[in-house]
């Protein structure tokens, strides 16, 4: 039986503009877009609320938070995955690239144990049973400062929905943690290290980078090609680092840490993605460049919720205010990420696109969700 729905009298967030109109959904696909305030019989009267494509999240650590809600506390994976999926749906995210760390440290720090393959298998099994509300892909965070990266990458194939591989280099004293005092505060707060444990942690990571780093970087690039996945850089800081990223064929930069790096990314036709919490908080918790500064310099293309799923829509609306253009703000979390990872069936309100949609109203400057739809079905 054909399933049909019309959202009418809405402020449609269209490519490059917002316009009052209605959108028709038939069997999970957008089949018509019309202008005007009219409300046809049987349609949902949105009363001027915004209707936008569903949000597309490329880098979130949220699933890891669910499987380990506190240090040394492991949660059942299936329950964690379902709770994570529902949480994202409730924030307007309809497509997610779940970030899983690949690359473990077994010899000295058990807290960086292996988990990605088993978690991915359970996630894909739940997806196959249609137990999830939204669309899930895998994002493998390839940790070059590790012992097991190559073996862990080899556990995945081109059938695993790996859509994104990012090159992670967390060597202390460079990239995200050029200021080691910031790393010290972060690690001591998260893991309860004392001074000696922290110094040993830094020494271990530096040894891992010296021993495995170059090999792991090469193998991660090969793995992304094998999976047919987009390859991303992470925390580029200098023009030289961006040049290396460009040499790998990278076209997406996650969280560059300086204006210099962001400018170099655009010079190399690399899209710049920044974290929504950075934008909302007014700066980086690691002391790096502020997302708003990059936005004001026209050096910000895509936004990720990073570690706060609810921040994604809020950040897009905030960018709409900064730029004076809500359509442009929403594009950073819809069409731009879709294009960056080659998803041509979503991210735009256009006839023939997948009917992943959100409806929201602005309340005291904050977007308040009124409905979330995945493939035309309401999921929140």
Cβ(373)–Cβ(25) below 8 Å = yes
- Strand spans (E) along 61-181: 93-102, 135-143, 162-168
- Which one has a higher pLDDT value, 113 or 43? 43
Structure tokens at 157: 């194939």
- Which one has a higher pLDDT value, 307 or 110? 307
Read off the pLDDT of residues 197-236 as tens digits, 9 standing for 90 and up: 777 767 777 777 777 778 899 999 999 999 999 999 999 9
* pLDDT at position 176: 63
Give the chain's radius of gyration (CA, Å): 21
Query: What are the helix and strand counts (H, E) for the chain?
Result: 13, 16
Least confident of 146-150, 244-248, 300-304, 345-349: 146-150
Read off the pLDDT of residues 183-196 as tens digits, 9 standing for 90 and up: 666 665 666 677 77
Q: What is the mean pLDDT of residues 308-331?
A: 98
* pLDDT at position 45: 98
- The domain spans of the chain are 54-347
For domain 54-347, say whether CATH 3.30.420.40 is its number.
no
CA distance 106 to 124: 26
Percentage with pLDDT > 70 across the chain: 92
Average pLDDT, the chain: 92
- Which one has a higher pLDDT value, 335 or 192? 335
Please identify which residue in the block is written with the tokens 């298998």.
121
Task: Map residue 66 onto helix, strand or coil.
Answer: helix
Q: Is the pLDDT of residue 175 over 80?
A: no
* pLDDT at position 46: 98
Confidence at 71, pLDDT banded by 50, 70, 90: confident
Confidence at 169, pLDDT banded by 50, 70, 90: confident
Phi first, then psi: what are they for 360, rounded to 5°? -145, 155
* pLDDT at position 194: 72
Confidence at 109, pLDDT banded by 50, 70, 90: low
């Amino acid at each position: 039986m054909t399933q049909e729905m019309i959202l009418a009298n809405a402020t449609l967030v269209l490519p490059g503009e917002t316009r009052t109109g209605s959108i028709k959904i038939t069997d999970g696909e957008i089949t018509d877009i019309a202008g005007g305030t009219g409300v046809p019989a049987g349609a949902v009267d949105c009363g001027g609320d915004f209707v936008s494509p569903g949000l597309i999240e490329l880098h979130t650590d949220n699933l890891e938070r669910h499987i380990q809600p506190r240090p040394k506390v492991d949660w059942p994976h299936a329950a964690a995955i379902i709770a994570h999926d529902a949480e994202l749906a409730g924030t307007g995210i309809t497509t997610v690239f779940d970030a899983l760390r690949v690359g473990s440290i077994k010899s000295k720090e058990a807290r960086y144990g292996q988990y990605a393959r088993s978690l991915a298998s359970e996630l894909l099994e739940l997806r196959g049973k249609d137990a999830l509300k939204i669309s899930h892909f895998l994002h493998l965070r390839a940790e070059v400062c590790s012992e097991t990266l190559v073996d862990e990458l080899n556990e995945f194939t081109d059938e695993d929905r790996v859509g994104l591989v990012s090159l992670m280099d967390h060597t202390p004293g460079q990239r995200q943690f050029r200021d080691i005092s910031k790393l010290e505060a972060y690690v001591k707060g998260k893991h309860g290290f004392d001074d000696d444990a922290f110094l040993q942690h830094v020494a271990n990571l530096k040894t891992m980078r010296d021993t495995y780093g170059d090999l792991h970087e090469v193998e991660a690039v090969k793995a992304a090609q094998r999976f047919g996945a987009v390859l991303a850089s992470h925390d580029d800081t200098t023009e030289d680092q961006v040049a290396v990223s460009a040499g790998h064929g990278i076209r997406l930069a996650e969280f560059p840490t300086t204006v210099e790096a962001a400018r170099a990314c655009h010079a190399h036709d690399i899209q710049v993605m920044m974290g929504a919490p950075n934008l909302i908080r007014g700066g980086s918790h690691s002391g790096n460049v502020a997302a708003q500064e990059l936005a004001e310099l026209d050096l910000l293309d895509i936004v990720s919720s990073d570690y706060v799923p609810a921040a994604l829509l809020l950040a897009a609306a905030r960018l709409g205010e900064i730029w004076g253009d809500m359509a442009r703000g929403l594009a950073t979390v819809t069409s731009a990420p879709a294009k960056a990872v080659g998803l041509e069936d979503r991210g735009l309100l256009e006839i023939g696109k997948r009917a992943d949609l959100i409806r929201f109203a602005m309340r005291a400057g904050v977007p308040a969700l009124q409905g979330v739809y995945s493939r035309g079905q309401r999921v929140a």
